[in-house]
Amino acid sequence: MEVDQATRMSTLVLGTANRNKVRELAILLAPTRFRLLSLADFSDVVDVPEGEHSLAENARRKAALQAARLGQWVLGDDTGLEVDALSGAPGVLSSRYAGLNAGAAANRRRLLDQLANVPFDCRTARFVCRLALADPSGQVRAEAEGHCCGRILFEPAGDLSFGYDSLFEIVEYHRTLAQLGSAAQFRLTHRARAVERILPDAVRLIG
């Protein structure tokens, strides 16, 4: 995709081709009035495999490598579910908990299997989102982290979101993220909180 210089200065590329993530990030970033693109809009993106060290490192690598390749500002993210009873697992392996090519349903099944004998009061967990913003040269210029605390149900509830959201109950609402839908996306989620924290830097840097 060819982008002229004036447009490039106000363009932010979301470092994912996942339609669910793109939709949520686009809603959260709408107040910036950036021209938002995703990796799905380009044919020459880099294949950036996720490492197993940390969410922060994965977010940095996604942002930096894609930005240098595309010559664009890129927002990279990595998100993990940390379950206390599993010593923080699945964590950085959340998207491939049931295997490298596993889908969301398989990941949820494995999580429920791992927690089969864990009582409800001990199923506390949190989502963590790490964001990294890289400039067109590939230098990471800003980072942020957001958390969302809750607990894991015994079976899925709700279909208004994706991933582990149908298992993740926000305790004070007695609803899962997948039942709360867009209302939660604007206020409660780990991704919303991370975006809120990185927004001032993004606006300052990208203009």
> Where along the chain do its domains lie?
5-206
Which residue in the block uniquely carries the two structure tokens 């894991």? Answer: 152
Return the number of other C-beta atoms located less than 10 Å from residue 10's C-beta: 13
Alpha carbon 59 to chain centroid, angstroms: 9
CA distances from 147 to 52, 128, 187 (A): 19, 5, 12
Verdict on whether the full-model pTM lies above 0.85: yes
Q: What is the pLDDT of residues 35-79, one digit of tens each?
A: 999 999 998 888 887 777 899 999 999 999 999 999 999 999 999
The residue with tokens 């409800």 is 120
78 carries an active-site annotation: yes
Q: Cα 21 to chain center, whole Å?
A: 7
Give the whole-angstrom CA distance, residue 23 versus residue 169. 22
Catalytically annotated residue among 4, 41, 77, 78: 78
Pull the structure tokens for residue 16: 């994912």
Question: Which token pair is 65?
Answer: 């490598």
Return the CATH class of domain 5-206: alpha beta
> 138-158, pLDDT tens digit by residue?
999 999 999 999 999 999 999
